[in-house]
Structure 1
Amino acid sequence: MPTSVELAAMRRAIIISASGLGATSPNPAVGCVILDAAGRTVGEGYHLRKGAAHAEVNALMAAGPRAAGGTAVVTLEPCNHEGLTPACHQALLDAKIARVLIAVMDPTSRGEGGAARLRLAGVDVHTHVLEEEALVVLGPWYTSLSGQRPVLHLLIQTDAAGNPIAPGAEALAETAVQRHEHDLVISIDGSAEEGREGSHGRVFSVPASAVADDPGASVAALTEAGARTVLLVGPSKVSEQLLSAGLVDRLTLLQPVPEPSQNTMGGPPRFPDGFVLSRVTRAGGQLVVTAVRRPAHGGPRAGDPGAV
């Protein structure tokens, strides 16, 4: 069983993993904390961007020789294959890590998986540690894999009656906040840009078909570009088509805060069937209302942005 120190380390790994959001796709944002043999934190790291060292390697570099005989606490199963970077399970073995705690198992593992290889080498491995909490960060990536398409988030500003309007200053401000956890932002004019500015040269190649009239072609182009999470700023023809086709996973509405002196009733939120409220807050003079698509088995999909 994980100790209280190890659980705290896993929560720290989950928190720092979010530092890589918007820069790692199509890879996941992963965090890792290294504890020495006495249970003291001696290193931590996260996956900075696609093609760079993974979280485990960065954490081990920070820990140095103090990692020997210690514990690696990682939000995703260490990889078992070499690609642009070496296999992380081997890096843990080379560092003489004795114990590994994993939150989420990697559905892309090749062969027996990193956890199995660590166990074969005599490492004490525990899986599914705070898995639900880790999916707060890894959920969109995981959902994208299972659906074989990006998670689509539609942001729309409305008037007091709930009717969509052209994005104003409030929508632009909310976009500036939301963009950092998305790979791509598609504006109302159909232009596409990376969600996280200054992502160290990681450039998505988005063809014109990404904003085509055919929703299927749009999603296929975004998938081919390697995007896992996309923010659509509407209303636009493309966003309306994607919403009608049932391809939007998260919907955020910005609506003016009602004036208490007025007797008029505001319009109800116009969520399509199958959506459930996941977050309601206030930003200045706007109510920010977010809903996520409920899967067939009920409840918001685990780890979806805003799922509770």
Structure 2
Amino acid sequence: MPTSVELAAMRRAIIISASGLGTTSPNPAVGCVILDAAGRTVGEGYHLRKGDPHAEVNALAAAGARAAGGTAVVTLEPCNHEGLTPACHQALLDARIARVLIAVMDPTSRGEGGAARLRKAGVDVQTHVLEDEALVVLGPWRASQSFQRPVLNLLIQTNAAGYATAPTAEALAEIELQRHAHDLLISLDGLAEEGRTGSHGRHFSVPAQPVPDEPGDAVTALAEAGARTVLLVGPSKLGERLLSGSLVDCVTLLVPVPEPSQATTTTSAPLLPDGYVLSRITRAGGQLVVSAERR
């Protein structure tokens, strides 16, 4: 069983892995912490973008010789193949790591996975350690692998009656906050731009033309760009058609905070589209940020 120190290290790995959100695609955002043989943290790292070193390699570089005989705590199963970078399971073996804790198994492993190869080499491997917590970061990437398309999040400003309107200044500020965790932002006119400008590197492309209004064509264009997560600003024809096609995974509504005397007034429009359930509600200034996920 993982020790309290190892569990703390996994939570640290999960937290730092989120530093790669909006830049690693089509790769996942992964974090890694290295403990020495006495259980002290001696290195940590995360994956920044495709083509750059993976989380394990960055963490091992920080740890240096202190990694020998120690433990690698990583949010995703170390890769078992060489691509633009060497195989991470081999980097762990070369560093003489004795124990590896893994949160989420890699659904893209080719043949025998990295965990199996580490075990064959005599490394003590434990899997599914704090998996649900790691999926807070890795969930959208894993869902995009399962769906074979990007995870689509639609953000819509509503008025007091519950009807979609053009974004207010407060809504635009919320969009600026949320875009940084997404690969692409699709504006009201259908134009695509990086969530964080210039963050992905040469293995990612931004559609040069407006994204097509037809759901199938739109999803294809976004997937071909290498996107795993996309933020769409509504209301738009594309957003409406993606909703109708059950392709929107999360809807975020920006709802004006009502006056206390109006709090029991029934709105004229349904708050959520059919098929969605509330997942998070918070307040930002004079608006409520209401998120719902598709069943």
Normalising by structure 2, report the TM-score.
0.96
The structural deviation recorded for 1:269 is: 4.6
> Structure 2: 5+ residue runs without aligned partners?
none
SS in 1 for 2:58: helix
Q: Partner amino acid for 1:163?
A: Y
- 1:224 counterpart = 2:235: no
- Match of 1:211, SS state, is coil
C-alpha deviations, 1:168-223, integer Å up to 9, x for none?
21221111110111000000011110012341645423153x62121111001111
1:201 and 1:26, CA in 2 relative to 1: closer, same or farther beyond 3 A?
closer
The within-5 A match list for 1:150-161 is 150-161=150-161
1:283 matched residue in structure 2 = 284
Code of the aligned partner of 1:179:
R
> 1:213 and 1:252 mapped to 2: Cα distance?
20
Aligned partners of 1:57 and 1:91 also within 8 Å: yes
Cα distance change on mapping 1:3 and 1:32 into 2, 3 Å: same
Superposition TM-score, scaled by structure 1 size? 0.92
Separation in 2, partners of 1:269, 1:232: 20
Which residue is 1:143 aligned to?
143
- Deviations along 1:152-180, one digit per CA (max 9) or x if unpaired, are 00000010000000112122111111011
Q: Are 2:287 and 1:271 equivalent residues in the alignment?
A: no
> Are 1:180 and 2:202 matched, yes or no?
no
User: What aligned pairs does 1:254-265 form with structure 2 within 5 A after superposition?
Assistant: 254-262=254-262, 264-265=265-266
- Aligned partner of 1:189: which letter? D
Could you tell me how far 1:261 is from its partner in structure 2?
A: 3.5
Corresponding pairs, count = 293
* Structure 1: tracts of 5 or more residues without a match: 295-308
* SS of 2:260 mapped into structure 1: coil
Residues 273-282 or 53-62, more deviating: 273-282
Q: Which residue of 2 aligns with 1:48?
A: 48
2:32 alignment counterpart: 32
Indicate the residue corresponding to 1:126 in structure 2.
Answer: 126
Distance in 2 (CA, whole Å) between partners of 1:269 and 1:118 is: 53
> Does the CA contact (< 8 Å) of 1:258 and 1:266 recur in 2?
no
- Aligned counterpart, 1:239: 239
**Contact (CA 8 Å) 2:24, 2:200: kept in 1 or not?**
no
In the other structure, the counterpart of 2:91 is 91
Seq. identity, %: 80
Change (3 A) 1:33 1:16: same
Partner SS state of residue 64, structure 2: helix
